[in-house]
Structure 1
Amino acid sequence: MRISVLGSAAGGGFPQWNCNCRNCAGVRAGSVRCKPRTQSSIFVRPDKSADGVLFNASPDLLEQIRARPELQPARALRDTAIAGVVLMDGQVDHATGLFMLRERGTPLPLWCTDPVHDDLTQGNPILRVLGHYCGVDRHRIGLDGTAFRVPGVEGLSFRALALSSKPAPYSPHREQPVDGDNIGMLITDLASGATAFYAPGLGAITPPVFDAMAGADAVLVDGTFWTDDEMPRLGIGHKTARSIGHLPQSGPGGMIEWLAKLPARTRRCLIHINNTNPILDEDSDERALLTRERIEVCEDGMLIPL
């Protein structure tokens, strides 16, 4: 399989439009060595197939499609390589891009859990709005461990795991998360047996999640914040990383500590990186630490073949 990183930033992208933190001001001025990033999304396809699955539809989706020609194979007057969309949660930065797919001539094939479907038909009724355009062919993602497939992408199978995290602010159970608000996905190439685990929003690593990570050839996991107090310390917010459903990289029990427990063969990648995170600075001490730990920082356009 081939995993294309379409976007690697957290909500707001990088640089964030209204932010002048060291990272955002530095990338605009060219004084910090880092790359701009769009909001997080990946596209996964079998090696010998043009068609694949879009994981999350960010507000930057049209820019991402233009930057990746393989998503427009031009086999017909109207064409796309996106055979289906899988949502990992119902957050704005992962679902708003669905509006950009409204010109389809047939209902959009969409996979999501019941809580995400509820949030996107009630609190933020994106799916109801799409009903006035192409419509939505919704498929339920179960959490019982049963694998599913996406028609047109027969070489891959998918299995969802419930994650400890937080639903979108417009969810009626924002402060009382339920299973299915956020999921991780184990992606398997049926021909080669290669596997990847994708979890851009991850608040805690439970035994089932760690087992999935440890059995994967590559993991693309939550890289939002470096420290738990990153936003309060910078004076740009009062909430901690963990309180909004993101496991920070550093500190006891942080992502770095968990990734160090994975088998040596596992490729370790951080995705969904907030604009405040010092790992965006390629010359930072934090980035050097990740390099020593063999942890990669995803960037837009990155290709991960498995």
Structure 2
Amino acid sequence: MLIKVLGSAAGGGFPQWNCNCSNCQGVRNGTMPTSARTQSSIAVSDDGHEWVLCNVSPDICHQIAATPELIKHDVLRGTAIGSIILTDSQIDHCAGLLNLREGCPHQVWCTSEVHDDLTSGFPIFTMLKHWNGGLVHHAIRPNDAFSVAVCSALKFTAIPLLSNAPPYSQYRGRPLPGHNVALFIEDTRSGKRLLYAPGLGEPDATLLEYMYQADCLLIDGTLWHDNELAATGVGSHTGKDMGHLALAEEQGLITLLSTLPAQRKILIHINNTNPILDESSAQRQALTEKGIEVSWDGMRIDL
């Protein structure tokens, strides 16, 4: 299994276009050892030729341009993206579908809850019907394994997460099990397994079982502290409000990751305020000492 990290930042990217926090200023003026990042998305493949796109960020056109594997050079118009899977209906994970309208129809796999949000509060499916049939929905049932139109050696399972529905969902504050899922991806030839969870509010027993089985965790690294937005002066929401488990809390993600046997533990969906973006920071050093990696745009993972 091949994994390409197309975007490793949380919503707004890094630097965030309207933010002058110390991190964003540091990357803009080159005074902080780091790299710019686009909004979170990955692509997976079983052969390196056909790919499954997992989430479609608003930065998708730039991400495709920066990823030669996704460009087909032997056709007048086309792409190596054969299927799309959405883990939720958040803007930073699905708004990029609008930028892919010229390539419609696209085969899109998501839960009924995500599909409902994307035909009502944020009706991307409805809007894109006007472009060559738009988006073809394939329903995902949580906890049931499925395969997609390409990459037949890969088996996917959507695992419900304790998180939140987006602000435009009628279920904001009271999400259903299908509003947020992690993807457990198994290569049926090698037996290697990836858990992809860019949003993670609170792990339950079911998710923990899959986390213990994974050879590689590509997992939510949004915030260092739960009150980080308030502490940096850029907002009032906590990580828990937004459906993210912070890294450094007493029962935070670092504590959890330290108990898991995965060969690689990699953070994705990193907010622009998170101090781990500074490669010289004490927080980044603490992660390195625990064997936890921080993803970057263009990162390739071979399983």
Query: With structure 2 as the length reference, what TM-score do the two structures score?
Result: 0.98
Unmatched segments (≥5 aa) in structure 1: none
Is 1:50 matched up with 2:67? Answer: no
SS for the counterpart of 2:152 is strand
Q: What residue number does 1:9 align with?
A: 9
Q: What residue number does 1:38 align with?
A: 38
* 1:115 CA displacement: 1.0
Q: Whole-Å Cα distance in 2 between the matches of residues 41 and 6 of structure 1?
A: 5
SS for the counterpart of 2:4 is strand
Q: What residue number does 1:226 align with?
A: 224
User: What amino acid sits opposite 1:296 in the alignment?
Assistant: E
Q: Whole-Å Cα distance in 2 between the matches of residues 235 and 63 of structure 1?
A: 30
* 1:49 CA displacement: 4.3
CA deviations 1:230-250 (Å, max 9, x no partner) are 001112111110111000000
User: What amino acid sits opposite 1:39 in the alignment?
Assistant: Q
Q: Whole-Å Cα distance in 1 between the matches of residues 179 and 124 of structure 2?
A: 16
Alignment of 1:225-304 (within 5 A): 225-263=223-261, 265-304=262-301
Q: Whole-Å Cα distance in 1 between the matches of residues 123 and 219 of structure 2?
A: 28
Alignment of 1:86-97 (within 5 A): 86-97=85-96
User: What amino acid sits opposite 1:275 in the alignment?
Assistant: N
CA deviations 1:147-180 (Å, max 9, x no partner) are 1111121111100100011111100111111111
Out of 190, 199, 202, the position equivalent to 1:201 is: 199
CA deviations 1:127-157 (Å, max 9, x no partner) are 11110113111000101x2211111211111
Query: With structure 1 as the length reference, what TM-score do the two structures score?
Result: 0.97
Counterpart contact for 1:50–1:73, Cα < 8 Å: no
CA deviations 1:32-62 (Å, max 9, x no partner) are 111100000000001x340010000000000
* 1:266 CA displacement: 2.3
Identity, % of aligned pairs? 49
Runs of 4 or more off by more than 3 Å in structure 1? Answer: none
User: What amino acid sits opposite 1:182 in the alignment?
Assistant: N
SS for the counterpart of 1:227 is coil
* 1:73 CA displacement: 2.4
Give the CA RMSD over aligned residues.
0.9
Alignment of 1:69-80 (within 5 A): 69-80=68-79
User: What amino acid sits opposite 1:72 in the alignment?
Assistant: I
Alignment of 1:94-105 (within 5 A): 94-104=93-103
User: What amino acid sits opposite 1:295 in the alignment?
Assistant: I
Q: Whole-Å Cα distance in 2 between the matches of residues 11 and 52 of structure 1?
A: 23
Q: Whole-Å Cα distance in 1 between the matches of residues 74 and 114 of structure 2?
A: 33
**Shift in CA distance, 49/233, structure 1 to aligned 2, threshold 3 Å:** closer
User: What amino acid sits opposite 2:136 in the alignment?
Assistant: D
Q: Whole-Å Cα distance in 2 between the matches of residues 8 and 152 of structure 1?
A: 24
Q: Whole-Å Cα distance in 2 between the matches of residues 237 and 146 of structure 1?
A: 38
* 1:75 CA displacement: 2.8
Counterpart contact for 1:49–1:153, Cα < 8 Å: no
Q: Whole-Å Cα distance in 2 between the matches of residues 235 and 222 of structure 1?
A: 22
Is 1:68 matched up with 2:67? Answer: yes
Q: Whole-Å Cα distance in 2 between the matches of residues 54 and 26 of structure 1?
A: 31
* 1:107 CA displacement: 1.9
